[in-house]
Amino acid sequence: MADVPSDAPQHCPGTESTDAGKASACAGCPNQTICASGITKQPDPGISLVKEKLSTVRNKLLVLSGKGGVGKSTITSLISRSLALSNPNTNVGVLDIDICGPSQPRILNAIGEQVHQSGSGWSPVYVDDNLSLMSIGFLLASPSDAVIWRGPKKNGMIRQFLSEVDWGTLDYLILDTPPGTSDEHLSAISYLKDAGITGAIIVTTPQQVALLDVRKEIDFCRKVSLPILGVIENMSVFVCPKCKNSAEIFPALTGGARAMAKEFDIELLGSLPLDPLLTKCCDEGKNILTEMPESPTVLLVLEFTESLPYPDTKFGNLNEFAFSVFNT
C-alpha cells in the first residue's frame, strides 16, 4: 500500500471540499471520479426548485421531538387544525415526512386517500377546504407496510415532497418530522435553505429521559441556525375524567420543560394534559377542536396556537456543520 502523507486527510474530506476526489483518502472510493470532476461542489438544483415551488407558502414550520411517542404528530395536527379553524381564509398544509411512521393520514382522517399527479405536480389530499395533507403514507400499498430506505432514497423523496407538491397559496406549511435528528431533518433543512424556514416547534414530555433528548434537538437547531419558536410540553398532567384528581404520570423531577426552556432561553409555548379523549379522537381521525370545543385540552390548544410567534422571516445560511453532515 502507498504511504499516506502524515498531513493527508484520513477520512472522506466531504463532497464540497476542495480536496474532494483528490485526497489520499479518496483513493479507491467509487465516487472519486465524480468528486474530482467538481460536480459535487455545485449547489444542488433541488434547492432552487424547492424555493420556486414554495414561493407561495408564507410560513414554513418544522415540528421536532427528541423522542418518538411524545406527541409530535398529535401536536402537528392540533396546530394545523387550530390554524385552519381560526379563519376560513387561512390556508394550511401539512407535510408528513415521518417516513418510518407516517401518522397524519390516520389523525387527519385521510386513510386510504390517493394523491393525484397533475401537470403542476402532486395534488395534496384536502382534509378540509383550507387544510391539505401530503404524506408518505399515501404512497404505501397498505398502512402496515414498512418503509425501509437508505439515506439517499429518503433524501430524494423529501426533495420530491418539497419541490413537486402543488400546495397552491398557503399561509402555513407544517412539517411533521421523524423523532431525533436524522437524514430527513438535514435533507429538509438543506432543501428549504433558500425557500426559508420560519422556525421550529419542539415537542417534549416532562420527564428527564425526554428532556435529555430535547437538549440535543436544541443543540441541532442552533448548529444549523434554525430559529426555535418554542417548546410545547405534552402529557404534562393527567386529569382523571371521573374523579377530576390530577396526577403527574411523567413527573417533572427536574422542573420539566419550563425549567429547560428557561435554561436555554427559549419560549415555553404551552402545556397539554394527557387526555384519553384526545387519544380517542386521534385514533378515530376526529377533530377534537370541533368535537369537544369546551374541553380544557382544546382551550389550551387554541391558546398556544394563538401565542405562536410567526416571524415570517427567513433564516440565514446554513452553516458549514449542516452541509458537512448533509454531504457525507
Given the rule CB under 6 A, which residues bind ligand ADP? 65, 68-74, 103, 234-235, 272, 274-275, 278-279, 282
Q: CB 178 → ligand ADP: shortest distance, Å?
A: 9
Question: What distance in Å separates the CA atoms of residue 289 and residue 302, rounded to the nearest whole number?
Answer: 9
Phi, psi for residue 93 in degrees, rounded to 5: -125, 145
In the bound state with ligand ADP, the residue whose beta carbon lies nearer, of 163 and 287, is 287
Beta bridge partner(s), residue 231: 202, 268
Say which residues have a Cβ less than 8 Å from residue 315's Cβ, sequence separation at least 6. Answer: 196, 197, 199, 225, 226, 227
In the bound state with ligand ADP, the residue whose beta carbon lies nearer, of 57 and 63, is 63
In the bound state with ligand ADP, the residue whose beta carbon lies nearer, of 15 and 287, is 287
Question: What distance in Å separates the CA atoms of residue 104 and residue 97, rounded to the nearest whole number?
Answer: 10
270 assigned to a ligand binding site? no
Q: CB 71 → ligand ADP: shortest distance, Å?
A: 3
Answer whether 47's CB lies under 8 Å from 190's CB.
Answer: yes
In the bound state with ligand ADP, the residue whose beta carbon lies nearer, of 138 and 250, is 250
Question: What distance in Å separates the CA atoms of residue 228 and residue 200, rounded to the nearest whole number?
Answer: 5
Q: CB 201 → ligand ADP: shortest distance, Å?
A: 12
Positive or negative: CA dihedral 30, 36, 37, 38:
positive
Q: Which cell goes with 238?
A: 393527567
Beta bridge partner(s), residue 176: 63, 96
Q: CB 326 → ligand ADP: shortest distance, Å?
A: 24
Question: What distance in Å separates the CA atoms of residue 36 and residue 136, rounded to the nearest whole number?
Answer: 35
Q: CB 60 → ligand ADP: shortest distance, Å?
A: 19
281 assigned to a ligand binding site? no
12 assigned to a ligand binding site? yes
In the bound state with ligand ADP, the residue whose beta carbon lies nearer, of 68 and 121, is 68
29 assigned to a ligand binding site? yes
73 assigned to a ligand binding site? yes
282 assigned to a ligand binding site? no
35 assigned to a ligand binding site? yes
In the bound state with ligand ADP, the residue whose beta carbon lies nearer, of 269 and 274, is 274
Residues 186, 188, 190, CA angle at the centre, nearest 5°? 65
Question: Which residues sit in the known binding site for [4Fe-4S] cluster?
Answer: 12, 26, 29, 35, 240, 243
Binding residues for ATP: 66-73
Binding site, annotated residues: 12, 26, 29, 35, 66-73, 240, 243
